[in-house]
Amino acid sequence: MHSHRSIGRLSLYRRLLYDLAENGTDHVHSHQLAGLAEVTAAQVRRDLMAVGCSGTPRRGYNVQDLIESIGELLDTPKAQAAALIGIGNLGRAILAYFVGRRPKLEIAAAFDVNPAKINRTIHGCRCYAVKRLVDVIKRRGIKVGIVAVPASEAQRITEMLVRGGVRGIVNFAPIRLHVPRDVFVEDMDMTMSLEKVAYFARLEGRK
């Protein structure tokens, strides 16, 4: 029903809608949202159709209604917890980034092998030893993992996450993780992105 891509865009629309709501906007047209999101108006309308939220011709879509409808789709009824593995430079950046950002989705536990980081609290997040990973996420029912460890460790950590019952992973390691087919992986591969951008940056004046 909801495609990979459209879910991503809905997440984006919601953030744009929060901004609009803050500025006191109460209605928005598909072409306005499209402009903000850098997609076409038809795309916006199709995506919004999928959340079962309809606008009125002339006035457009009600901002609050949209936020609520998208929330019903993207959010769980009660808050969802994620585990972060790897509290290096990148891990700390991710923690700082998400702390208090989404009420329905928070990083509830962090893991590292470095004893100096264990049993501390960073950005309000409790840190554990990696060897307790499987136990802790099982006990706390954590279903989402964020892998921010070096490439050499990433597959081993992934297997621990899967053993602990995780069903979705955001992967920052520059390799492809091997997981059972029912575990969803989203890669955030900086190396790939930078090389891709470098490639397209030198293909002059097209498109």
Partner DNA sequence: GCCTGTGAAGCTATTCACAGCT
Partner DNA sequence: AGCTGTGAATAGCTTCACAGGC
Q: Which residues bind a copy of itself (CB under 8 A)?
A: 2, 4, 7-8, 11-12, 15-16, 36-38, 73-74, 76, 80, 82, 88-90, 92-94, 96-98, 101-102, 105, 143-144, 146, 166-170, 174-178, 181-182, 184-186, 188-202, 204-207
Distance of CA 120 to the CA centre of its chain: 25
Distance of CA 32 to the CA centre of its chain: 24
146 burial (CB, 10 Å; 0-12 / 13-18 / 19+) is buried
Any contact of residue 114 with DNA (CB under 7 A)?
no
Q: Which of DNA, a copy of itself, none sits in contact with 168, Cβ below 5 to 8 A by type?
A: a copy of itself
Nearer residue to DNA within complex by CB, 202 or 207: 207
For β-strands 61-62 and 80-85, DSSP reports them as unpaired
R_g (Cα) of the chain, nearest Å:
20
- Look up residue 50 and give its two tokens: 């999928």
- Look up residue 173 and give its two tokens: 């390691």
As measured in angstroms, the least distance from the Cβ of 57 to a copy of itself is 26
As measured in angstroms, the least distance from the Cβ of 108 to a copy of itself is 12
Any contact of residue 58 with DNA (CB under 7 A)?
yes
Give a three-class secondary structure readout of 92-157: HHHHHHHCCCCCCEEEEEEEECCHHHCCCEECCEEEEEHHHHHHHHHHHCCCEEEECCCHHHHHHH
Interaction residues for DNA, span 38-57 (CB under 7 A): 39-43, 45-46, 48-49, 54-57
As measured in angstroms, the least distance from the Cβ of 159 to DNA is 24
Residue ranges that bind DNA, judged by CB under 7 A:
3-6, 29-31, 39-43, 45-46, 48-49, 54-58, 60-61
